[in-house]
Amino acid sequence: MDFEAARIKMVDNQIRTTDVTSHPVLTAFLTVPREAFVPEKSKLLAYIDTDIEIAPAASGKPPRYLMEASPLAKLLQLAEISKDDVVLEIGCGTGYTAALLSLLAGSVVALECDETLAAEASKNLAALGYGNVTVVAGELEKGYAAQAPYDVIFINGAVEEVPATVLQQLRDGGRLIAVQGYGNAARAKVFVREHGSFSENPFFNASVKPLQGFAKSKEFTF
């Protein structure tokens, strides 16, 4: 299979057609080999317009997916990342989005809760020379305070809520990009920290796979 030709078709047919016009974002998707971040059995499917499973459900944990290219590109465009930015990615999986972010940002911290996936992400990113990404393991909903504050926090999957603990890791003027809610009613949002307070702005509907650990705490009722 000609993966380079498939990559160009993905950008032209899946990404450009959904109002993604950012040159750096388009260039990143044309550059990063998506097939290198999916299981061997799925390589021929790497460029189809759907989410691709990268880890099956196990031990009560849901399966993990590489996000479909179109919503991922729209979310990265929404982030308006520059080469001066320090970015935290939450839920890096096998490292594909971290590779895209590495071409957009100054440096990237890629957080993953599954140690097997974290090891795979580290191997993939090192093999392809994305040296400005550091992969770390930890609970996703806690963020990664050790290297905070961040200019941008990118949550790589749908969440029910964004924890205050994660928002507090933003630098003043920083922004967090997340899909809040599940299914077709979910909305892509940008949370901005300004002078210690936070605002949120919805932008577009985005149905993406949920990320574990971000469900709202159940409240007792009487």
pLDDT at 184: 82
* CA pair distance 116, 119, nearest whole angstrom: 5
pLDDT of residue 173: 95
Query: Residue 183: what pLDDT?
Result: 83
Q: What is the pLDDT of residue 6?
A: 97
The pLDDT, as a whole number, for residue 163 is 93
Do 155 and 72 meet the contact criterion of CB atoms below 8 Å apart?
A: no
The pLDDT of residue 177 is 98
What is the signed CA dihedral for 201, 176, 76, 69, rounded to 10 degrees?
Answer: -90
The residue extents of the domains of the chain are: 3-205
Of 87, 118, 91, the C-alpha closest to 101 is 87
Both tokens assigned to 190: 């940008």
DSSP, collapsed to helix, strand or coil, labels residue 198 as: strand
Please count the CA atoms within 13 angstroms of the CA of 184 that sit on its side-chain side: 0
Residue spans of the chain under pLDDT 70: 217-222
DSSP string, 62-120: PPEEEPPHHHHHHHHHHHT--TT-EEEEE--TTSHHHHHHHHHSSEEEEEES-HHHHHH
For the segment(s) 3-205, the CATH number from 3.40.50.150, 3.20.20.70, 3.30.70.260, 3.30.70.3270 is 3.40.50.150
Measured CA to CA, the distance from residue 135 to residue 120 in angstroms comes to 10
> Which pLDDT belongs to residue 196?
84
Is residue 180 within 8 A of residue 186, CB to CB? The reply is yes
**What pLDDT score does 1 carry?**
86
